[in-house]
Amino acid sequence: GQSLEQPSEVTAVEGAIVQINCTYQTSGFYGLSWYQQHDGGAPTFLSYNGLDGLEETGRFSSFLSRSDSYGYLLLQELQMKDSASYFCAVRDRSWGKLQFGAGTQVVVTP
Amino acid sequence: DVKVTQSSRYLVKRTGEKVFLECVQDMDHENMFWYRQDPGLGLRLIYFSYDVKMKEKGDIPEGYSVSREKKERFSLILESASTNQTSMYLCASSVPGTSGGLPYEQYFGPGTRLTVT
């Protein structure tokens, strides 16, 4: 079957670093994406890894190891506005269909 | 900026009613998607469309149908609403994908929270 596993919740203080892991088992693999969703809002794209390695976008970085079917999203210098749900998603076909994980709720405390 | 709009933010319907959820995107995207989002289950794909009048079932199509008569508009239809279809419904669009390194980012609408009583 197809599955993506990520932790359900992570809590950290402002200024800290949080790593959200995602392991996947899918029938095809063309890349791993991360989306952020604030309460009541729409999911928005954060980052994408099509190849192994680290991608950095400001305070956020994403990593992929295709041989391990594993990736992570790293949130640095946490801010209160980073409190949100974060979803990993696998593009399992060439034309853009995504399989989403259940999401990780990140709670940032003062 | 890409804009994806959905016809209603909140909707309350009765069991057995036919329900139409409308989605419009303004970026000339070929791909459009309908998801439902439930706590602890993430986003689950109901149907997608990769061109006008073309559609394919996603992971949970039962009880739903779709219509795409124009490129910018993708409708989700609940033929006979049931209480287990109470959920948040999200529409998304993207450019078509080909094998390669581009993210083919999906752009989401604000969602419709449907309650079936």
What does the pLDDT look like over A77-104, one tens digit per residue?
999 999 999 999 998 775 667 899 999 9
Distance from CA of A104 to the nearest CA of B (A): 9
Nearest-10 Cα torsion for A8, A44, B92, A64: -70
Cα–Cα distance for residue pair B39/B42, rounded to 1 Å: 7
Q: Burial-class residue A76 by CB neighbours within 10 Å (0-12, 13-18, 19+).
A: middle
- Give the pLDDT band (50/70/90) at residue B62: very high
Q: Quick one: average pLDDT of B20-35?
A: 94
Kindly list the residues from chain A whose CB atom is less than 8 angstroms away from the CB atom of residue B103.
Answer: 31, 33, 45, 48, 50
Size of interface A-B (CB pairs under 8 A): 69
Kindly list the residues from chain B whose CB atom is less than 8 angstroms away from the CB atom of residue A103.
Answer: 42
